């Protein structure tokens, strides 16, 4: 019998969900989520109808990303399906083209960036987020709502995996939002990391779970004990954390790049280890530019706030 795939299955996009969600107010941003239950896998699309400045920070040894050099974006598509999931970003671009009346002028081409996670670890099929799923996610986009947990691009994401635990623990997508004066910051992340999720007290709340001992994190037998027992200390491939940081504060290209680097580096507090060889971590820093300036926040202070919001976003994955 042929393995279930996009070519052999009659796939139906799902775009309506129950469960946990973040509600926020950030004009200029709409979010759409679509899934194939047959995978299960999905994609999460961030839409900026008026365009938004963007800087991309790529880390880890195994990234899969498109449109990383765009200084302006109209949409960002995060997806499962590893390399094949980049097709969903092409679907987002195709749907934007249709919504714009198929105009093809030099300055009318929609700019869509994309990034993917490897989410085939927990599932045994070849279903991936394709062009139709990307189109469905864009059509479902709306402001102010972001589904949390095993939804969208994080439908089959896991947090694991340091000591060769094949399946890890379910993870997914998380988000958090904060407003300081007129400045708003939202962080949205899909955690499929080789590392574990760690809270502010240093406790592992998801991942590094040893099914044999029932222990987690620092309590799990260490590297020396595993080597002595002949057990592997070798993380499996196929991991990645994808993040979108959005602010309404206007930032020039250098400020936006610095914000992305600062927040991405800070996330190593919440995910340990982070940016490993087996990870393909990508962060998009985006500014809608609605707020010209803020006397309360310079770029570094904004980065401090956004870094704390990012930690909250990662923790929200685990509930």
Which residues are known to be catalytic?
Answer: 240
Under DSSP, is residue 56 helix (H, G, I), strand (E, B) or coil?
strand
Please report which helix (H) or strand (E) contains residue 34, including its range.
Answer: strand 30-36
Strand partners, 178: 185
Yes or no: say if 248 and 26 are a contact pair by the CB < 8 Å rule.
yes
**Is the backbone of residue 88 left (phi > 0), alpha (psi -120 to 50) or beta?**
alpha
Closest CA to 45 of 104, 133, 174: 133
Closest CA to 305 of 176, 169, 123, 203: 176
Yes or no: say if 66 and 60 are a contact pair by the CB < 8 Å rule.
no
Strand partners, 79: 43, 116
* Cα gap 270→292, rounded to integer Å: 31
Count CB neighbours of 278 within 10 A: 21
Q: Provide CB contacts within 8 A for 244, sequence distance 6+.
A: 46, 76, 78, 187, 188, 189, 283, 284, 286
Cis, peptide link before residue 40, omega less than 30° from 0: yes
Under DSSP, is residue 300 helix (H, G, I), strand (E, B) or coil?
helix
Yes or no: say if 157 and 119 are a contact pair by the CB < 8 Å rule.
yes
* Cα gap 274→268, rounded to integer Å: 5
The pair of three-digit structure tokens given for residue 200, joined into one six-digit string: 């502010």
Q: What is the DSSP letter of 194?
A: S
Count CB neighbours of 230 within 10 A: 6
């Amino acid at each position: 019998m042929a393995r279930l795939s996009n070519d052999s299955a009659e796939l139906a996009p799902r775009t309506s969900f129950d469960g946990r969600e973040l509600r926020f107010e950030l004009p200029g941003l709409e979010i759409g989520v679509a899934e194939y239950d047959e995978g299960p896998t999905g994609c999460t699309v961030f839409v900026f109808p008026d365009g938004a400045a963007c800087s991309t920070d790529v880390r880890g040894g195994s990234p899969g990303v498109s449109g990383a050099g765009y200084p302006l974006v109209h949409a960002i598509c995060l997806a499962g399906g590893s390399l094949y999931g980049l097709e969903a970003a092409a679907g987002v671009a195709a749907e934007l083209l249709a919504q714009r009346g198929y105009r093809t002028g030099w300055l009318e081409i929609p700019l869509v960036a994309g990034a993917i996670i490897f989410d085939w670890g927990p599932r045994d099929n070849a279903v991936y987020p394709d062009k139709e799923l990307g189109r469905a996610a864009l059509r479902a986009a709306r402001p102010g709502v972001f589904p949390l947990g095993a939804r969208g691009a994080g439908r089959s994401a896991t947090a694991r995996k340091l000591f060769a635990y094949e399946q890890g623990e379910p993870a997914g997508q998380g988000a958090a939002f904060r407003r300081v004066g007129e400045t708003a910051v939202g962080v949205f992340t899909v955690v499929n990391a080789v590392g574990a999720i760690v809270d502010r007290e240093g406790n592992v709340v998801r991942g590094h779970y040893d099914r044999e001992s029932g222990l987690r994190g620092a309590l799990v037998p260490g590297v020396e004990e595993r080597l002595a027992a002949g057990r592997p200390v070798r993380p499996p491939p196929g991991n990645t954390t994808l993040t979108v940081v959005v602010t309404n504060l206007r930032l020039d290209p250098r400020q936006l790049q610095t914000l992305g680097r600062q927040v991405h580096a800070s996330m190593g507090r919440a995910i340990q280890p982070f940016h490993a060889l087996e990870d393909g971590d990508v962060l998009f820093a985006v500014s809608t530019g609605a707020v010209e300036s803020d006397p309360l926040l310079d770029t570094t202070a904004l980065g401090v706030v956004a870094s704390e919001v990012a930690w909250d976003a990662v923790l929200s994955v685990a509930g």
